[in-house]
Amino acid sequence: MNDWALARQQFLEEYKHIRHAEGRGSEDSNYYRALPFSDCTGRNSAMWAIRAQTYRYFEKNILKVLERREGRPLRVLDLGAGNCWLCYRLSLRQHRPVALDIFLDGRDGLGAARHYPVQFPAVEAEFDHLPFAAKAFDIVVFNASLHYSVDYVQTLSEARRCLRAGGVIVVLDSPIYRRREHGMRMVEEKRAHFLKKYGFASDALPNMEFLDPTMLKNLAKDLAVRWQILKPWYGWRWHLRPLNALLHKRRPPSRFWILIGRPTAYDHPAASSID
């Protein structure tokens, strides 16, 4: 087993330990079928409330637009599908989703697909080596997962390759910071927290962990993608988090903006801009 495979195995073992310790998953199928709108266990209700708001916004402002435009079931690739709740929701809308992840756990990974009353492909593979033909999907969604990439250019290049003409890349619930140094502080704090609580820093793989405006501009230029930034409303408490952090002299929090990436021609002058 090479160094990368060993690091990947360590990451998955530690990731499973953390997710189970956080109370992710259930033996009750109703738990999965209620996501993201309700956490039947009550263990991660605040997190799922954010996911629900994000999904509602995605459904209303992105998915329905593409449904009207195409007038047919959409082929959707759910990257970092986790327990496959998004694929289930898409299936209920008669779309044709594919779940992809490297985490096969029966509670919080692809193994949880057994809890849904509909079937869809669940594929074990890495972001950077997608086992699909070019131009296979209408939407490629990173569902709270893009920040697990170890190389944004490679990861998004693969996503772009799999998009048909007119398709879009959608990034949901990945942390975005206005300044790189704030993101780096978050990474340091997160690893210190894991080390103290679990005895390991959970850094076996060099995940990117966050995005910032400079990264997005560079990715737009390198990949010939135009980013559109959407800003869902998560309520006043969430909106005031930056002010509270300032008053308490803490690191500014991340934003969960939705990113829509639309590929452009490589010679297009607007390819490096952000809406």
- Each residue's pLDDT tens digit, 178-211: 999 999 999 999 999 999 999 999 999 999 999 9
SS3 194: helix
At residue 267, the pLDDT reads 36
At residue 158, the pLDDT reads 98
pLDDT above 70 coverage of the chain, percent: 96
At residue 31, the pLDDT reads 98
Determine contact, residues 221/268, Cβ cutoff 8 Å: no
Neighbours of 268 (CB within 10 A): 12
SS3 172: strand
Determine contact, residues 217/271, Cβ cutoff 8 Å: no
Instruction: Give CA separation, 198 vs 21, 44, 46, 82, 202, in Å.
Output: 9, 19, 22, 22, 9
pLDDT above 90 coverage of the chain, percent: 95
Tokens describing residue 141 = 């969604």
Neighbours of 254 (CB within 10 A): 20
Q: Is the pTM of this model over 0.85?
A: yes
Residue pLDDT, tens place only, 136-175: 999 999 999 999 999 999 999 999 999 999 999 999 999 9
Each domain of the chain, given as residue ranges in start order, spans 3-263
Tokens describing residue 104 = 């096969």
Tokens describing residue 94 = 């008669």
At residue 224, the pLDDT reads 95
What H or E segment, with its residue span, contains residue 167? strand 163-172
Contacts of 251 (CB under 8 A, 6+ apart): 182, 185, 186, 189, 245
Q: What is the per-residue burial (b if ≥16 Cβ within 10 Å, else e) of 84-113?
A: bbbbbbbbeeebbbbbbbbbebebbbbbbb
At residue 272, the pLDDT reads 33
At residue 162, the pLDDT reads 98
Determine contact, residues 205/7, Cβ cutoff 8 Å: yes
At residue 269, the pLDDT reads 34
Average of per-residue pLDDT across 208-233: 97
CATH hierarchy code of domain 3-263: 3.40.50.150
At residue 265, the pLDDT reads 65
Q: Is 70 exceeded by the pLDDT of residue 266?
A: no
| Amino acid making up residue 71 | G
Per DSSP bridges, beta strands 96-101 and 75-79 are parallel
Least confident of 73-82, 83-92, 249-258, 262-271: 262-271
Least confident of 1-5, 80-84, 188-192: 1-5
Give the CA dihedral 96, 150, 111, 38, nearest 10 degrees. -70
Tokens describing residue 29 = 């199928």
Q: Is 90 exceeded by the pLDDT of residue 275?
A: no
